[in-house]
Amino acid sequence: MYPPTSPPAPPAGVVRLREQLMAVARRMRRPDTAAALPLTLLQLLSSIDRLGAGASPSALAERNGLRSSNLAALLRQSEQAGLIERHSDANDRRQVRVLLTASGLSLLESNRDSSARWLAAALQSRLSAAEREQLLRAAPLLERLLDQPPLDGGTGPGPAP
């Protein structure tokens, strides 16, 4: 049997793009640009909001790459903080649905607004009008990349808040 071969290294441009995207994402999470909240909590609140109509714990665990025990602890903390509510599913009382409370939604929107204001200021101060337009036109392309499944078949990195 032959030893497994490693996949070819990604092109340098891909490596550079990855580094730049990660740096921008980290910068948008800094305390001066967003509420000082743990990233895992922001990802959870964002997932609940994006999944809508009462997300199931299993869908949240999968979307965020969390073990059920870790998710359970995070849900418990979030519920105690008044950020989420858990309810039985109307069609199947054995199932639980997770919803954002008004406080949870307000916190999430505040975080998103803070990050968006930083990004808007950075775009305005660092890029020309043509560069801003070019970058904004690339947004749908980046969004399409999010649909690519992980190479290892796992859940891969979680969503951005």
> CA 50 to CA 27: how far, in whole Å?
22
Region 21-27 average pLDDT = 89
pLDDT > 90? residue 13: yes
> CA 59 to CA 98: how far, in whole Å?
10
pLDDT in tens, 42-75: 899 999 999 987 799 999 999 888 999 999 999 9
Residue 51 domain-assigned (yes or no): yes
Domain range enclosing 92:
36-142
How many structural domains does the chain have?
1
pLDDT of residue 5: 79
How many residues comprise the chain? 161
Residue 149 domain-assigned (yes or no): no
> CA 63 to CA 41: how far, in whole Å?
13
> CA 15 to CA 151: how far, in whole Å?
16
pLDDT of residue 46: 93
pLDDT in tens, 106-123: 999 988 888 899 999 999
Whether the CB-CB separation of 12 and 97 falls below 8 Å is answered with no
| Residue that the structure tokens 């949870």 belong to | 104
pLDDT > 70? residue 35: no
CATH number of 122's domain: 1.10.10.10
Residue 137: which pLDDT band, with cuts at 50, 70 and 90? very high
Region 85-109 average pLDDT = 91
Q: Is the pTM of this model over 0.85?
A: no
